[in-house]
Structure 1
Amino acid sequence: MSSMRVFQVGLRRAAAPAFRGNAAGRMVQRRFAATNTISQDSAAELLNKQRRLRPVSPHLNIYQPQITWYASGLHRISGVILSGGLYLFGFAYLAAPALGWHMESTSLIAAVGAWPAWAKVSAKFGIAMPFFFHSLNGVRHLVQDFGIGFAKKTVMQTGWTVVGLTVAGSLYYSFIG
């Protein structure tokens, strides 16, 4: 039976007792709305009483934190950092001639070359960390999009592997050259 036919039959069955004086032998339940006029203060008090009696839904602090939570949040944050940095640099590069800034490669290399070693390493690490994490975690998500690696043990292993490779890759690229 088609869904339209089922709908029509249901409507007829629901309307039949009203038109035939309940001739079908079924009891029709009716609920009449009772309304009382109450003051604003009484209404507010009633509403507050109802709110106090509502069950409280559990909050995130009752759950044990998992690597998937952190990986998901950091994936989004690293994406925002990378894209935001790209946009900022792109806009600065486009506005540089009008503002008199020197954003040529030679100027940038000379400026960074004058920094102390700890500042260079920190800057490299600050750029490499979100890049590696976002790239590696993106590959992890692509693999999971194919339905691979959803066992609890595998999810934990791949999550911590991404974290370890991110730290190792960031440190490696921060200290070379």
Structure 2
Amino acid sequence: MLLSRVTRTALRVSRRDAQIFRLHPDGVLFSASPTSLLQIKNMSTPPKPHLSLVKATESNHVLIRQRLNRPVSPHLTIYRMSINYFTSPMHRITGVLLSGTLYCFGTAYLISPIFGWHLDSATIAAAFGSLPVAAKVAAKFVMALPLTFHCVNGVGHLIWDTGRRFSTKAIVRQGWTVIGLSVAGAVYLATMI
């Protein structure tokens, strides 16, 4: 068994390396092995392009022009804008706004005695009470809208965490429901006296 395998391999190698005489297209007789025949270049292939030297400033301009013609990857114009385009980033933005406001006011409240600021509850209530009714409602609406949006959209995210409502139709419906409930909740909280 081993002898037949060795014999077959030896025959294959000798056949592969055997010199074969071929007639070149120019009429010259030459010898070549079958593997070297694959390396003969056809005379009709076009010459390599000529490379030219470019100054550094010119190459910069060329690169800038090429980059301006490239699309953003993935190109944003191929997507159809849906409600989820707005609700997903707004959920993150409202979370940052709410927590940032809390941290800033908390820090200001803690350092107010050092600087002599009056940020105690009585002063803030008196300042807010002196505003006209329209300004009070507008201020409460501006404060309540991010809160209600973040809470209602957070419930939507909790529903998604259970693995439900992942169809496109359900996501669009949920997005519009979140916006409607957020505005309604903000109006309700703003008009409470």
Task: Tell whether the structures are fold-level matches, with TM greater than 0.5.
Answer: yes
Q: Secondary structure at the match of 1:65?
A: coil
Residue of structure 1 in register with 2:71 after alignment = 56
**Which residue identity does 1:59 align to in structure 2?**
H
CA distance in 1: counterparts of 2:65 and 2:191, whole angstroms: 62
TM-score (structure 2 length as normaliser): 0.65
**CA radius of gyration, larger in:** 2
Instruction: Give the deviation of 1:41 after TM superposition.
Output: 5.4
Query: SS at 1:131's partner residue?
Result: helix
The Cα of 1:50 is off from its aligned counterpart by 9.3
Shift of the 26–128 alpha-carbon distance from structure 1 to 2, 3 Å rule, reads farther
User: Equivalents in 1 of 2:61, 2:185: separation in Å?
Assistant: 61
Structure 2: segments with no counterpart, 5+ residues: 1-15, 18-33, 40-50
Residue 135 of structure 1 aligns with which residue? 151
* CA 1:26–1:153: 2 relative to 1, 3 Å: farther
Q: What does residue range 1-177 of structure 1 map to in structure 2 within 5 Å?
A: 38-40=53-55, 44=59, 48=63, 51=66, 56-57=71-72, 59-177=75-193
1:122: Cα distance to partner?
1.0
CA distance in 2, matches of 1:100, 1:158: 48
Pairwise CA distance, 1:59: 3.2
Instruction: Indicate the SS of the match to 2:163.
Output: coil
CA deviation string 1:89-143 (max 9, x = no partner): 1111011101111222111111111111111111110110000001111111121
CA distance in 2, matches of 1:49, 1:115: 55
Q: Per the alignment, do residues 111 and 50 of structure 1 end up closer, same or farther by CA in structure 2, a change over 3 Å counting?
A: closer
Query: Which segments of 5 or more consecutive residues in structure 1 lack a partner in the other structure?
Result: 1-21, 30-35
State how far apart, in whole Å, the 1-side matches of 2:63 and 2:158 are: 48
One-letter code of the match for 1:160? W
**Number of paired residues?**
151
Cα RMSD (Å) of the superposition? Answer: 3.4
Change (3 A) 1:43 1:99: closer
When normalised by structure 1's length, the TM-score is 0.71
Supply the distance in 2 between the matched residues of 1:147 and 1:50 (Cα, whole angstroms): 46
Structure having the larger proportion of residues in strand:
2
> Counterpart of 1:112 in structure 2: which amino acid?
F
Give the structure with the larger helix fraction.
Answer: 1
Deviation of 1:87 (Å): 1.3
% same residue: 42
